[in-house]
Amino acid sequence: MLVTTITCMGLVCTIACGVFATRSAHQRGTSLGAVPMVWGTAFALLQLFIAIWSGIGLVQDGMLPAFVFNIAACGCAWVSFNRAVVQQRFAALVGPEGRFAHPAVAMTVMLVLAGILATLGLELPSNHNLLWMYPLCLLLEIALITGVLAGMFFLTQRRAGLSAFFALAFFILGVAEYFVITFKSMPITPGDMTAISTAAAVAGTGYTYTLSAFCLVGFACAALSMLALQLAALIAPSPRPRTRRALLVNLGVALLCLGGVTAHVTLVDYYHTLGIQVYTWRPLESYYRQGFLPAFISGAQTVKPPRPDDYSTDDAEQLLDDYAAEFDATRGADKDRTAAETQFDKEKPTVIAVMNETFSDLSIYQKLHADYEGPEYFNSISDCLSRGTLYVSAYGGGTANSEFEFLTGNSMANLGSGVYPYTIYDLTETDNLASQFKELGYDTTAMHPNHATNWNRENVYEDFGFDQFLAIEDFEDAETLRGMVTDRETYDKILELLETNSNPQFIFDVTMQNHSGYDTGMVPQNKQLNLSIDGMYDAEVNEYVSLIQESDRALEYFIDQLRQLDRKVIVVFFGDHQPFFPSTYNDLWFTDEDEATHQERLWQTDYVIWANYDVAGNDQVSEEVDLSTNYLGSVLMDLIGAPINDYQKAQAVLREAMPAINSSGYEDAEGRWYLTGSALPEDGDAAQQAVERAHSDYATMQYYELFYDGKDVYTKRYQSAANETDPNLVPGTTKIK
C-alpha cells in the first residue's frame, strides 16, 4: 500500500496545483484555458491509474520509484497548469535577448530530449541495465523514436498532443514487453503481431499484471517525455503565422522525419548491413543488448522465408529423388518395414496424436533440487514403439509452431526468428499428416478446447484437410482446472469419437489444461505438489508440476481405456514446449558446458509412440530415440507401416547425419550440438561434414515443399467466417468448410 499512499498524496498535490493555477489566472483577470487544463488533467489521470492499480495490489511496493513517478507527474502537471507563466519565462530565455540565438534551437533540444526520455520509457520496464546495450544500437533507437515524435509534432503544426500520445504509446509497448517476458521469458516478436487475437484470447486467464518498480520509473520517463514535447510547442518560434508557407514548411519537416524513419526501416538491411540480429537460442539477450526497436525491426525484415543459396526447383526435386531412392534401397527394403506395411494395409489402425500443452519433464534440471522425479506414469510406460527426448522450436509459448513442425515435417530452423507459419504463410498446398490420412480413407478430426480462431487454426485445419474441428463450443459443461478444459475431457471426447465411428480415424488433440500462467492458486489442495527448491517454496513451479501430475494421471486413464478397446489404435503423445521459468535454473545450475548444449536443454520436451496391439516389425520395448518435432510425424508413419511420401523418406535419411534440428540449433551423428547460424570447422570430421551437408539439403528441400519458387508465400486468408454446422456430424461438432 506504500505506492498507493504516495500516489494519492501526489494526486492531491497535482489537484492543488490545478486549483492554485486557476485562482492565479482569475486574479490576473484571465482564465486557465482549455489546453493547460487538458494537459494537467492528463498527468493527473496517469497518477489516478497508478493509485487504483496499486490499490488492488498490482504494483510492486517501493518508496523510491513511487516518489520518482509522482514527482515527475506532479512537476509535469504544474508546468501544464502554469503554461502561460512558463511560456513567458521561456520567451525571455530563447528570444533575441535570451541565451539562445533562435528558439528553433531550444525547440530541437526539447524534441531530442523527448526522444531520449521516450526511449527510456520503452526500455526500462523490461531492460534494467541500459549500460549493457550496444551504444550505437541505443543511439539508433533514440534516433528512430525522436524521428517519430518530431514527425508527429510537425505534422500537427508544432502541437504536442499527437506526439505525446506516441510517447505514451512507446511506454505502453515497453510494459507489454515486460509482461510478455514475465509470462513467457521471450520478447515480443514480429510474428506476435499476426497472432494478437490468440494472445487476447488467453491474456485474461491465469496471469497477474503487476507493474514493477522499473515500470514506474519508465512511466516517469514517459511523463517527462510528454512534458518535453509540450515545452517544445511552447518554445516553437512565435508568433506562428498560419500561412500556407508555414503549413508547407511544417508538413515538409514532418515528411522528412517520418519518411526518413520509414526509409531507414525498410531500405536498410539491419541483419547484414548493421549486424543487428535476433539469436533464436537467446532472443532476450538480443533485445536487451540491441534495444527493442532495432531487434524487432531486424526480426520483421527476416520474416520473409530465407531462400537457400543457389536455390532452384530442379535441384530441389533432384535432392528429393536422390534421398527417396536411398531410403527405398535401405530402410524401405527392410523386412521389418515391409511387415509393418503389410499389417497397416490390412488393419488401418486409428492414429491419435496428442500434443499436450507445456508438458515436459523438469527433472532434467537436477531434479529441481527437490527430488522431483517428473511425470511418474509417463516415464514408466515400458511397451512403447519409441520414446525419448523431443527437441522443439518453442520455449514458454508458441504452441502453433510445434504442431506445424509435427504435422508438416518442416522445421522452424529454416524459417527465421519470430515467425508463426499458421498466421503468415499460405499453407493451402502444404503436405501434412491430416491430408495423408485423408487420402488413405481416414476420417480426420482436430480438437482444441479453446477458440477456433486462435493461431488461425480454423483456416489452417481446413487447408490441411481435417474433416472437422472441435473447439471450445464443443466442450460445454466440460470439467475444468483453473478455468481450462482438462486433458481427461479431451480424451473422453476422443473415446466418444471411437465409439460412434468405426472407420479408421486420424485425431489430432491439442490440449489446454497446462497453459500458463502458473500463479492462479486455483489448483485444489488434493491435487497440489509441494516442492521445496533449495529450501524455498515457489508457487509458480508448484502449480506447474501439479498440473503435469494431473496430465500424467489423465494419460494413464486414457491408455488404460485404449488397452481395453477392441480396435487397433496408435497414440503419439508429446509436449509442445517447456514453461517459461526453467531458464533461471538452467543458468544457475549448469555453468560448465558449451553454449549449444546449455541452450538445447530449454528447447526440449518428451514424446512417446504407443500402440494397443503388436505392431509388426517392432519389439515395443520402449526403445529410446531422441529426435526433433519435425521428424516425429515421419517416424510415426514409418514405425506403423503407413505409406510415406518422398519428403518423409528424405527426412528418414537426413536423420542419420542430423538426428535433431530446431530453431535453436542442430545435432550431428556424434551427439554434438551447434547453434543456429554458427560456422562449423572448415576441417571438420566426417560427422561434421555430413551434418553440414544434411543441414543445407534439408533447407533446400523444405523451401521447395513450402514455397516452390518463392512466389505467393504469404497467407491469402485469415480469420474467416464462423464454421457452418453440419447435421451429419457428431452432435456438437463443427464442419470445416
The domain that holds 573 is classified in CATH as: 3.40.720.10
Task: Name the one residue in this structure whose C-alpha cell is 461438432.
Answer: 733
Burial of 199 (0-12, 13-18, 19+ CB in 10 A): middle
Q: Is the same domain home to 244 and 328?
A: no
The size of the chain, in residues, is 737
More confident residue, 345 or 710: 345
pTM: 0.82
In a domain, 306, yes or no: no
Q: pLDDT band at 1, cuts 50/70/90?
A: confident
- Dihedral angle computed from the Cα positions of residues 589, 590, 592 and 596, in that order, rounded to the nearest 10 degrees: -160
In a domain, 415, yes or no: yes
For 423, what's the count of Cα atoms within 13 Å in the CB-facing half-sphere?
22
Report pLDDT digits (tens) over 623-671.
Answer: 999 999 999 999 999 999 999 999 999 999 999 999 999 999 999 999 9
- Cβ neighbors of 318 (< 8 A, separation 6 or more) are none
CA angle 720/723/726 to nearest 5° reads 155
Q: What percent of the chain has pLDDT over 70?
A: 92
Q: In the prediction, which pLDDT does 733 show?
A: 43
In a domain, 718, yes or no: no
Q: In the prediction, which pLDDT does 713 show?
A: 73
Q: In the prediction, which pLDDT does 246 show?
A: 83
Q: Is the same domain home to 606 and 662?
A: yes
**What total of structural domains would you count in the chain?**
3
Q: Which of 89-103, 453-467, 615-629 has the lowest mean pLDDT?
A: 89-103
Q: Is the same domain home to 324 and 273?
A: no
Q: pLDDT band at 104, cuts 50/70/90?
A: confident
Burial of 599 (0-12, 13-18, 19+ CB in 10 A): buried
In a domain, 111, yes or no: yes
Q: In the prediction, which pLDDT does 660 show?
A: 98
Report pLDDT digits (tens) over 142-200.
Answer: 999 999 999 999 999 999 999 999 999 999 999 999 998 888 778 888 877 766 666 66
Q: pLDDT band at 718, cuts 50/70/90?
A: very low
Q: Is the same domain home to 286 and 325?
A: no
Determine the average pLDDT of the residues in 127-141. Answer: 93
Q: Which of 29-33, 448-452, 542-546, 619-623 has the lowest mean pLDDT?
A: 29-33
In degrees rounded to 5, what are phi and psi of residue 351?
-115, 125
Determine the average pLDDT of the residues in 40-44. Answer: 92
Contact 590, 600 (CB under 8 A): no
Q: pLDDT band at 87, cuts 50/70/90?
A: confident
Q: Is the same domain home to 419 and 295?
A: no
Q: Which of 54-63, 200-209, 284-293, 348-357 has the highest mean pLDDT?
A: 348-357
More confident residue, 137 or 302: 137
- Residues pairing with 609 in the sheet: 386, 572
Determine the average pLDDT of the residues in 54-64. Answer: 90
Q: In the prediction, which pLDDT does 604 show?
A: 97
Determine the average pLDDT of the residues in 316-343. Answer: 96
In a domain, 629, yes or no: yes
- Residues pairing with 352 in the sheet: 507, 571
Q: Is the same domain home to 26 and 121?
A: no
CA angle 456/457/461 to nearest 5° reads 130
Q: In the prediction, which pLDDT does 703 show?
A: 94
Determine the average pLDDT of the residues in 101-108. Answer: 78
Determine the average pLDDT of the residues in 420-441. Answer: 93
Q: In the prediction, which pLDDT does 584 show?
A: 93
In a domain, 356, yes or no: yes
Q: Point out the domain boundary residue: 236, 269, 301.
A: 301
Q: In the prediction, which pLDDT does 401 show?
A: 95
Query: What is the residue-wise DSSP string for 1-54?
Result: -HHHHHHHHHHHHHHHHHHHHHHHHHHTTS---HHHHHHHHHHHHHHHHHHHHH
- Cis peptide bond upstream of 239, omega within 30: yes
Q: Which has the closest alpha carbon to 501: 736, 732, 733, 730?
A: 730
Q: In the prediction, which pLDDT does 202 show?
A: 66
Q: Point out the domain boundary residue: 50, 81, 112.
A: 81
In a domain, 275, yes or no: yes
Q: Is the same domain home to 416 and 543?
A: yes
Report pLDDT digits (tens) over 534-562.
Answer: 999 999 999 999 999 999 999 999 999 99
Q: Which has the closest alpha carbon to 20: 90, 69, 71, 77?
A: 77
Q: pLDDT band at 677, cuts 50/70/90?
A: confident
- Domain assignment of residue 6, given as a range: 1-81
Q: Is the same domain home to 533 and 408?
A: yes
Q: Is the same domain home to 604 and 702?
A: yes
Contact 240, 122 (CB under 8 A): no
Q: Which has the closest alpha carbon to 160: 111, 207, 215?
A: 111
Q: In the prediction, which pLDDT does 33 show?
A: 83
Q: Is the same domain home to 69 and 206?
A: no
Q: Is the same domain home to 277 and 364?
A: no
Q: Which has the closest alpha carbon to 73: 213, 173, 217?
A: 217
In a domain, 558, yes or no: yes
Distance in angstroms (rounded) separating the CA atoms of residues 644 and 197: 35
Q: Which has the closest alpha carbon to 636: 655, 606, 608?
A: 608
Q: pLDDT band at 201, cuts 50/70/90?
A: low
Whether 717 shows a pLDDT value over 50: the answer reads no
Distance in angstroms (rounded) separating the CA atoms of residues 154 and 252: 8
Q: Point out the domain boundary residue: 51, 81, 111.
A: 81
Q: Which has the closest alpha carbon to 396: 661, 576, 235?
A: 576
Q: In the prediction, which pLDDT does 16 show?
A: 93
Whether 736 shows a pLDDT value over 50: the answer reads no
Q: In the prediction, which pLDDT does 709 show?
A: 86
Other beta carbons within 10 Å of 601: 18
- Cβ neighbors of 467 (< 8 A, separation 6 or more) are 438, 443, 444, 445, 735, 736
Q: Is the same domain home to 332 and 452?
A: yes
Contact 462, 504 (CB under 8 A): no
- Dihedral angle computed from the Cα positions of residues 107, 113, 114 and 119, in that order, rounded to the nearest 10 degrees: 150
Burial of 593 (0-12, 13-18, 19+ CB in 10 A): exposed
Burial call 454-483: b when 16+ CB within 10 Å, e when fewer: bbbbbbbbbbbbbbbbbbbebbeebeebbe
Q: In the prediction, which pLDDT does 35 show?
A: 86
